Structure 1
Amino acid sequence: MSAQTDYAQAGELKFGQVGIANLRVRSLDPAQLAAEMAERVQRAPNLFARAAVVLDFGGLSKAPGIDEARALVDGLRAAGVLPVALAYGTREIDALSQQLGLPLLAKFRAQYERADDAPAPARAPEPLRAAEPSPAPAAPAAASASAPGLIQATPVRSGQQVYAEQRDLTVLAPVGAGAEVLADGSIHIYGALRGRALAGARGNEGARIFCREFHAELVAVAGHYKVMEDIPAALHGKAVQVWLENGQLKLAALD
């Protein structure tokens, strides 16, 4: 009697939202870029050490050569982060990705490039940019999203991610350290925020973050971010709102 064949898959493949930093290269200086990244890793190792990074060369007038690109990849790895892909752009970027052995991510397609006879892609998230601290005035109403908001009723635990695509996100429970909540609109957290919150994930500069108890590892609006080390100690544990004003990230207590 022959043995029964086992058709069960050894691995289950699924696609989902993954939080990946986008490094938009504006000046092709591998040594300077590596030094800047090393400084970020040193300031906030829990956030940036061994972080996955997508390289976006869309800010350059032409694609880099293979030697320059390899020097940049090696420099970033030495700085403590892990380049995992290139942002989709021109045919030259496509060829470069093959030479580097890195994939292309269509989600990060450069804004200036259209696919053949296809409509222009949606605006990609801008790279994270550190913002200067600044006192905050009273806040206007939160930006509304284009669809009914997503409600997360249970705690978001370390290693988990919740993403509200094209809408606001309301979290009725705590966001633990090492957890991440993202929304294309605004984020409302009615518990403690100990992880990361990223509002306006696709570039909506009118998005806001509201939190009842603020202990955030990182907050960002439309790519402008602050890490815990940059946030005034007076705001820790308070009810806080976060928003953009004239390209600067603002934080203020709500009470």
Structure 2
Amino acid sequence: MTETRNLLEPAGELKFGQVGIANLRIKRLDSAGIAQELADKVHSAPQLFLRAPVVLDLSHLSSLPEQSVVRELIERIRACGMLPVGLSYGTSENEALAVSLDLPLFAKFRTAFERSGEPAVAAPAASSAPEQPVVAPAAAKREPMRSLHQDKPVRSGQQVYARDGDLIVTNLVANGAEVIADGSIHVYGPLRGRALAGAQGDSTARIYCQEFHAELVSIAGQYRVFEDLPSDLRGQPVQAWLEGEKLHLARLG
């Protein structure tokens, strides 16, 4: 009976969840320069960047590159130690490029940029045709931010993600562990792993911890990696916040 039931169950279970994928926004099409910048990052923090999955955002270029150019860029990124896994969502031309490269599109990165107040793709050129009136959509009702409470230790290799809200951890975040929140992160214990707040672009999010030993902290995509912690922050109560594009850290109290 048990064998029959096992044969009727699916062999695999597919679910969608949050994964730690970096977004690489291409500001200037310089394959050699980009590869060197990424190689430097891999060398400075291999535990974070070596074999890290990365999505390419081409929306800030003046025009979409040819397939051969993007393919060369992807190969250079692979050669420096990171793994390109797709393109960020953009125009129909961008989608066609992804199909030609046999890569997926990642829509969530577009959402992150839009929430941070930046356009996901370049605005279309002005047309001589008369503009049609634009009807603004009705404002969507925003759900209140929720909090996810994590009372158990977050062990090495584990990831806890608070979608659409804050994350409150009342225990240890170990080395090699990752805590992520669309809102702020509060760690009432040692923070030894990585903390990524404002994961969908909320630049007002903050990170608070009782004992600071972090490998990395990030808010709305701006991050700092710690090979050697500043002596005045090591083991101290610390908060992190953004001012513009600069990530600040300071002792609490």
Question: Quick check: TM above 0.5?
Answer: yes
1:221 aligns with 2:219: yes
Counterpart-to-counterpart distance in 1, 2:4 and 2:185:
52
CA–CA distance in structure 1, aligned partners of residues 92 and 195 of structure 2: 34
- Residue 156 in 1 paired to residue 154 in 2? yes
Please say if residues 77 and 84 of structure 2, whose CA atoms lie closer than 8 Å, have aligned partners that are also in contact: yes
Name the SS for the 1:42 alignment partner: helix
Instruction: Tell me by how many angstroms 1:113 deviates.
Output: 7.8
Name the structure 1 match of 2:113: none
Take 2:161 and 2:12, find their aligned partners in 1: how far apart are those partners? 24
Deviations 1:144-169 (A, max 9, x none): x9323111111111222111122111
- 1:243 corresponds to which letter in structure 2? W
| Higher gyration radius (CA) | 2
| Corresponding residue of 1:36 | 37
SS at match of 2:227: helix
CA displacement 1:130-154 (0-9 Å, x = unmatched): xxxxxxxxxxxxxxx9323111111
Q: CA deviation at 1:101?
A: 1.4
Query: Displacement, 1:229?
Result: 2.6
Residue matched to 2:84: 83
CA distance in 1, matches of 2:24, 2:229: 23
C-alpha distance in 2 between matches for 1:9 and 1:221: 39
Corresponding residue for residue 245 of structure 1: 243
Shift of 1:233: 3.2
Deviation at 1:231, TM superposition (A): 4.4
Map of 1:56 onto structure 2:
57
Q: Which of residues 194, 199, 203 in structure 2 aligns to 1:196?
A: 194
* CA distance, structure 1, for counterparts of residue 231 and residue 56 of structure 2: 33
CA distance in 2, matches of 1:100, 1:246: 35
Match for residue 112 of structure 1 among 108, 111, 121: 121
Aligned partners of 2:231, 2:54: CA distance in 1, in Å? Answer: 29
Does residue 172 of structure 1 match 2:170? yes
* 1:4 Cα offset (Å): 5.9
- Asked if structure 2 preserves the Cα contact closer than 8 Å seen for 1:89 and 1:113, the reply is no
| Partner Cα distance (1:182, 1:69) in 2 | 30
* Kept after mapping to 1: 8 A contact 2:59/2:122: no
The one-letter amino acid of 2:121's match is: Y
1:4–1:192 distance in 2 versus 1, CA, 3 Å: closer
| 1:242–1:249 CA contact under 8 A, matched in 2 | yes
- Distance between the aligned counterparts of 1:222 and 1:230, measured in 2? 23
Once the two structures are superposed, residues 26-51 of structure 1 have per-residue CA deviations (whole angstroms, 9 ceiling, x without a partner) of 10111111110000000000000000
Whether the aligned pair in 1 keeps the contact of 2:147 and 2:167 (CA below 8 Å) is: yes
SS class of match (2:214) = coil
Q: Distance in 1 between matches of 2:101 and 2:204?
A: 37
**TM-score normalised per structure 1:** 0.82
Q: Which residue of 1 aligns with 2:132?
A: none
Q: Give a deviation string over 1:149-204, Cα, whole Å, max 9, x none.
A: 11111111122211112211110111111111111111100011111101111221
Local SS of the residue matching 1:64: coil
Determine whether 1:254 maps to 2:246: no
Contact 1:66 / 1:100 at 8 angstroms: preserved in 2? yes
Alignment-mate amino acid for residue 9 of structure 2:
A
Give 2:128's aligned residue: none
Q: Tell me which stretches of 4 or more aligned residues in structure 1 moved more than 4 Å.
A: none
Any idea what SS the aligned residue of 2:148 has? Answer: strand
Query: How many angstroms apart in 1 are the aligned matches of 2:229 and 2:205?
Result: 19
- Report the AA paired with residue 68 of structure 1: V
Distance 1:218 1:4 in 2: 48
Residue 13 (structure 1) shift: 1.2
Determine the C-alpha separation between the residues in 2 that align with 1:230 and 1:223: 21
Query: TM-score of the superposition, structure 2-length normalised?
Result: 0.83
Q: Secondary structure at the match of 1:154?
A: coil
